[in-house]
Homo-oligomer: A and B are copies of this chain.
Amino acid sequence: MINKEEFRKKIIESAREIFSRYGFKKTTMDEIASSLKIGKSSIYYYYESKVEIFEAVVLHEANILRNELTTAIKSVESPTDKMRNYVFVRMKAFEKLSNYYNAIFDKSLSHFDFIETIRVKYDREEMAILRLIFYDGARKNVFNVANSEYTAMAVQTTLKGLEVPLFWKKKEVNIEERLDAILDVLFNGILKK
């Protein structure tokens, strides 16, 4: 019916739902298996270990995020709209992603260096995107930035700071409602009049 590679993808899709809901530790191989209607031991025919599946899931998730971000930017023209869309999608995504982290930073994270690798890679990609937006914004005279590299760095740092409350989940943060306030902070001193 379906070849091995296809079924590997199916496993990732199912595992994604469960991992994103319960995190790494609380997710069991039994759950993943039964969500696919196969026996637990069958999974090991497709993947070597739970960690391997988790890595594949996180990678998948990262790719989805990258796509969402690029389309969010492409869908509008003006630099301010691009920023607005970018920030919105990013915060929304992080809200979801924080579930994964949640369960990782429990203990024994030594296995999860690969997440840091992905993270670093994405920071770089994000920098490139932000730099471009600000460069474009300066050229079009809507942003007041002398150095787009520097501004991009500052904004990225601010964004990371905004992630913290999401990460620690003191409280649900309603992104929709807070977006304008967040953009106010980000645009502080950048937006021309």
Give residues in A with beta carbon < 8 Å to B: 22, 26
Contacts and interface: CB of A to CB of B under 8 A. Distances in A.
Contacts of A22: 22, 26
A26 B26 CA distance: 6
A contact patch SS: helix
Nearest to A28: B26
Contacts of A26: 22, 26
A22 B22 CA distance: 7
3 contacts: A22-B22, A22-B26, A26-B26
A167 to B, nearest CB: 16
A27 B22 CA distance: 11
Nearest to A99: B21
A108 to B, nearest CB: 15
A22 B28 CA distance: 13
A54 to B, nearest CB: 17
A22 B26 CA distance: 9
A116 B26 CA distance: 27
Nearest to A25: B26
Task: List 3 tightest A-B contacts by C-beta distance, closest first.
Answer: A26-B26, A22-B26, A22-B22
A172 to B, nearest CB: 10
A22 B18 CA distance: 11
A26 B28 CA distance: 10
A193 to B, nearest CB: 39
A26 B22 CA distance: 9
A22 B31 CA distance: 14
